[in-house]
Amino acid sequence: MIIIDEDLCKGCHLCLFMCYKNVYAISPEVNKKGVQLPFVKFEERCTKCGTCEIACPDQAITVDLPENWWMNDDKDINFNPNFTKGKA
Amino acid sequence: MAEEFFIQGNEACAKGAIAAGCRFFAGYPITPSTEIAETLSRELPKVGGSFVQMEDEIASAGAIIGASWGGTKSMTATSGPGISLMQENIGYAFMTETPMVIVNVQRGSPSTAQPTMAAQGDMMQARWGSHGDYEPIALSPSSVQEFFDFTIKAFNLAEEYRVPVFVMADEVIGHMREKIVVGDDIEIIARKRPEKSDDYLPFENIENGTTPMPSFGDGFNIHVTGLTHDERGYPDTNTPETHDKLIQRICDKVLNNRDKICSVQSENCEDADIVIVSYGGPVRSVVEAVNRTDKKVGYIKLDTPWPFPEDQVKELTANAKDIIVVEMNLGQMYYEIDRVCKRNANVHLMGKIGGLLPTPDEILDEIDKIGGN
Amino acid sequence: MSEHKQNRFLPYLREDRLPHIFCPGCGNGAIINAFLAAMEKAEMDFDNVAMVSGIGCSSRIPGYLNCDSLHTTHGRALSFATGLKTANKDLDVVVFTGDGDAASIGGNHLIHAARRNINLTVICINNNIYGMTGGQISPTSPKGSFGTTAPYGNQDTPFKLAELVAAAGASYSARWTTVQMENLVLSIKDGLKNPGFSFIEVATQCPTYYGRKNKLKTPTAMAAVMKANTIFKSEADRMRPRDVEGKIVVGEFANTQRDEFTQNIEKLSVEKSGKKTLINSAYETEL
């Protein structure tokens, strides 16, 4: 379950860029603030990596994750292993 | 049991700071105030305090503001060039109502000028140095004993009114050696800890125009900013009323308590034709001159040049025909005295620069020149 | 869904001040998240965190975080933080600063704080431009980039901040960008845990000024270019210097332990007075 807070979103669309599974799409309509909101188009692709939640500059995205999921593991979780491999 | 010491002015200042509860000093070496830093670097570790030699005066002023919000009484000592560098952060301290003490051992100025000579050229800088409207408190000692006492008083005033306080000494007082008496009944005003409640506001008027100040880590989660802020401390830069209310309060907390803050010392003023007004080092020569002359001459010594003791000076000069302002600059406090007294007396300036105190003879000559009987 | 589930970073923020003033696509918001995530990961007590910042876009961050925060004068954040940390060394002092704030007006404070190795965590948000004043070039603007004060392109060579601070003696120094969130979070975590001066430079996008002036008008375009221009330090070490030029080299530049500043002061105090340095002594009359 991914929730986008319409009051906080400023429409930068970094979530689209950051999501490596392309879960998001841009809404064709603008809301009352003049923002083309992103929306969750392919939720079944979501791996709940949480990158969009952290990368959202406006704290507008909530990914329904288990409580403290990344604190449970002893070792550091590289929660998006496919994203950076040293080469662009 | 009172103790006696024969020490230098700067050492007395450091002693006073420790007695007043100062446990943090940040400074940068500058003649003629360096002995304060040297003494505190030796003494502070012995009483659980911290001494930091910062990279410059700007950082020193910043560090003592930080330390003050960290819950420690803090001080820095410098001279004119250092004060010039500190002005930005001094303005910040006024805006955020941070208690701290700035000792300025004045030297020949402007610029680097005369590092080892006395002057009183920073008096207006203490008043107007940083940009904008604020009301500073400045104390001006004229003996080693007073340098000790006024340093303690400066800390007390800073805590009481949540305001930076200047101690405006000069090179003569800083480097002079005299006997001082340290009593064991020194009055220390501690910072008041606010009570924890949901409606605590860190920047409102509760007493003396200000609020008890929490320290960081107390759990108040305060935001301190140099931007125009409301009573919660949140920036609100676009509302004219917020700015007006804030700056009025910051000024009023000092101005409305002038009768408690200001102090002068005077002699023979009631029936004197000539009243000499002075402060700091030159007072020593003024006292001597007044004792020697057989004319009706009195003197006023300004313990607190800022806020200017307007009422006291007005009252004491009510019967005077002439007023001589003796200071070691080309007229700074002179303009303030002229503003207050020009309606009922002629105000003359005896400004001496170059680094030497005006001598009693020079003051007597000035009295003769003006006349009087 | 029984109740509205909240963004996990919102409880740390002053919600009465949201949405924040940052432009759409500004990296500052993401860095707030990265810091909070790192803080959770480092298992730190948020109530014990004190924030210090200077002036600039990035320095507005502490105003949105619900902890003690000191928003100071331009460039001087590190000197205030030095005083605060020395006065109360139990606090976890975090400094948010920008490239103009830390490298230009506060450059002296930066290298001296690193030299002292005082236990601060400095998060330097490097957007290559002065955003708050309207897009002037900064000491980290790449050569040839445009700003309102460089209409013909920047002629000066930029600072390499992470390397500079490492050379000045910081015990932890790293550089990451806002497109490598996971590394950034781990790096901030390491910085918070490191008992010494920790400097984390975060290269970030400023679409409003840097982007518009340099033909990268959208946040995503900026992020894409940043991602394409990023190389890891281990890779850069094997490359010829001229190939590395103009790239953002990310990685750790220092991670060593040495004596910490406030510990030394405390040691001296114990030696001379037999007790630790006093904390909150301003509230006492008898010392």
Residue A77's pLDDT band (boundaries 50, 70, 90)?
A: very low
Q: Indicate if the pLDDT at residue B185 is higher than 80.
A: yes
Q: What is the distance between the alpha carbons of residues B202 and B212, in angstroms, rounded to a whole number?
A: 8
Residue A79's pLDDT band (boundaries 50, 70, 90)?
A: very low
Q: What is the distance between the alpha carbons of residues A18 and A49, in angstroms, rounded to a whole number?
A: 11
Per-residue pLDDT at A83:
35
Per-residue pLDDT at B373:
61
C-alpha distances in Å from residue B318, one per residue of B322, B340, B366, C113: 10, 11, 21, 56
Q: What is the distance between the alpha carbons of residues C67 and C79, in angstroms, rounded to a whole number?
A: 20
C-alpha distances in Å from residue C135, one per residue of A30, C129, C147: 28, 6, 6
Low-confidence ranges of chain C (pLDDT < 70): 1-5
Per-residue pLDDT at C10:
87
- For residue B1, the tally of other CB atoms under 10 A from its CB is 5
Q: What is the mean pLDDT of residues B333-349?
A: 94
Q: Residue C94 is encoded by which pair of tokens? A: 């975090």
Residue B372's pLDDT band (boundaries 50, 70, 90)?
A: low
Q: What is the mean pLDDT of residues A3-24?
A: 90
- Assess contact for B63 and B52: CB atoms under 8 A: yes
pLDDT > 70: percent of chain B: 99
Q: Is A61 on the interface with C (CB under 8 A)?
A: yes
Per-residue pLDDT at B65:
97
Mean pLDDT lowest for which of B209-223, B226-240, C3-17, C229-243?
C3-17
B52 to chain C: which residues are within 8 Å by CB?
82-83, 86, 265
- Assess contact for B21 and B188: CB atoms under 8 A: yes
Residue B176's pLDDT band (boundaries 50, 70, 90)?
A: very high
Min distance C266 CA to chain A CA atoms (Å): 33
Beta carbons of B224 and C71 less than 8 Å apart: yes
Q: What is the distance between the alpha carbons of residues B282 and B357, in angstroms, rounded to a whole number?
A: 6
Beta carbons of C181 and A61 less than 8 Å apart: no
C181: nearest CB among A5, A54, A58: A54
C41: nearest CB among A55, A58, A70: A70
C7 to chain A: which residues are within 8 Å by CB?
5, 53, 59-62
Chain C: residue nearest B191 by CA? Answer: C283
Q: Indicate if the pLDDT at residue A2 is higher than 90.
A: no
Q: What is the mean pLDDT of residues B52-76?
A: 96
Q: What is the distance between the alpha carbons of residues A62 and A45, in angstroms, rounded to a whole number?
A: 16
Beta carbons of B191 and C50 less than 8 Å apart: no
pTM, entire model = 0.93
| Per-residue pLDDT tens over the stretch C102-125 | 999 999 999 999 999 999 999 999
A79 to chain C: which residues are within 8 Å by CB?
182
Per-residue pLDDT at A72:
46
HSE of B98 in the Cβ direction (CA atoms, 13 Å)?
Answer: 35
A51 to chain C: which residues are within 8 Å by CB?
181-182
Q: Which residue has the tokens 């014990």?
A: C48
Q: Residue C41: which of C171, C175, C184, C170 has the closest Cα?
A: C184
- Interface size B-C, in CB pairs within 8 Å, comes to 194
Chain B: residue nearest C114 by CA? Answer: B55
Per-residue pLDDT at A46:
86
Q: Indicate if the pLDDT at residue B340 is higher than 70.
A: yes
Q: Do chains C and A touch (3 or more CB pairs under 8 A)?
A: yes
Q: Is C104 on the interface with B (CB under 8 A)?
A: no
Q: What is the DSSP letter of C105?
A: I
Mean pLDDT lowest for which of A70-74, B6-10, B304-308, B355-359?
A70-74
Handedness of CA B101, B235, B128, C81 (dihedral sign): positive
Name the average pLDDT for chain B: 94
